[in-house]
Amino acid sequence: MTRNNGITILKKVFNSQVCKCCWSLTFLFPVIFAHAQTGGIQVKKIWDKAPYNSFTSLIRFDDAFYCSFREGTSHVSDKNDGKVRILRSEDGDHWGSIALLKVHGLDLRDPKLSVTPDHKIMVIMAGAVFYDHRKIRKLFPMVSFSDTEGKDFSAPEKATLAPGISPDKDWIWRVTWHNGTGYGVDYHTVALHRNSESSKEEAIVTLVKTDNGQYFKKVSNLPVKDFPNESTIRFNKNNEMFVLVRRDAGNKMGVLLKSRPPYTHWRCKQLKIQLGGPDFLFLNDTRLVIGTRHYLGKRNTTAIFVTNLKGRILKDIELPSGGDTGYPGMVIYKNLLWVSYYSSHEGKAGIYLAKISLSML
């Protein structure tokens, strides 16, 4: 990345790699920021009003874009003051706040948007209580729903997990609806040495499903080790489920899993990249497009990767970003890949929107 007269110029990098492994509502008002444009890519900042803005999600609903993210004082705060902001835009250029969700005493984190079978916007997020410098005391999934017009959102409420899914500290990071059922991956931590004073923990990832977005049943455990956590689910035209999973231990490389109904037996491929806040879509029948925080040694960026269906990287595009960054949301619309993400490369962490021509992918 270079800069020219204060405008960020995008740098495209093309790689070829291989993988391994076993298979309170506010009124709508316009928000317009100057943007950078290079070739088939445009980028603009769409929000930075809170001290810290992060962890995005992006969808289309009733001919409009919706973008959700967390507002707080910092990435993690003992004040437990994280709130969920939701923006709406009809054209992708003019954005306004349509909802601000908050619960006293809870840090609401990573709000992810989806559209339910009864035509409402569902927001799934974590409710967390932190203490003593980022240590988690409580963690559980919470949900909010819009009305059928996508305007009024309900107060966040705790989601319910079926008995036996998890002992403690659960997080359903994203929900994807398919044929009337919502699927998500619940990750939770368990002590490695239950009868000792060791504080080491491991994460277990469990595929769960829901009919109403509020009650989740277990489907199967995912065969992923080395502290798996943030996961996104997508489906192809043959009802096969693909799951992209972040890992924070071992070699930390992400994993792509695949399963056929009833989604109890899995094949997996280890990627050649570490993931942070991953999202992905099917670009076509043979290609995936993955958005993630990209770890580059001493610096981080937000990047888009085009891969085959086994996760082999074919192309990558680095977006204007740096510092505290990543957690994109993605929508394919009108021959463009629309990407929301957050970044602190221009100072405090703000929310950005990139438009990438599909011809570049």
Cβ atoms within 10 Å, residue 344: 19
Q: Which of 3-12, 127-136, 204-213 has the highest mean pLDDT?
A: 204-213
pLDDT over 60 (residue 1): no
Q: What per-residue confidence (pLDDT) applies to 202? A: 82
CB 30 within 8 A of CB 92: no
Report pLDDT digits (tens) over 297-325.
889 999 999 999 999 999 999 999 999 99
Average pLDDT, the chain: 87
CB 98 within 8 A of CB 87: yes
Q: What per-residue confidence (pLDDT) applies to 190? A: 74
Report pLDDT digits (tens) over 222-275.
999 999 999 999 999 999 999 999 999 999 999 999 999 999 999 999 999 999
Structural domains in the chain, sorted by start = 2-23+105-337 (2.120.10.10)
CB 18 within 8 A of CB 312: yes
Mean pLDDT of 77-92: 90
Nearest to 351, CA basis, from 331, 325, 330: 325
Mean pLDDT of 25-30: 38
- Give the pTM: 0.87
Mean pLDDT of 121-140: 85
pLDDT over 50 (residue 29): no
CB 356 within 8 A of CB 336: yes
**Percent above pLDDT 70 for the chain:** 85
Mean pLDDT of 9-25: 35
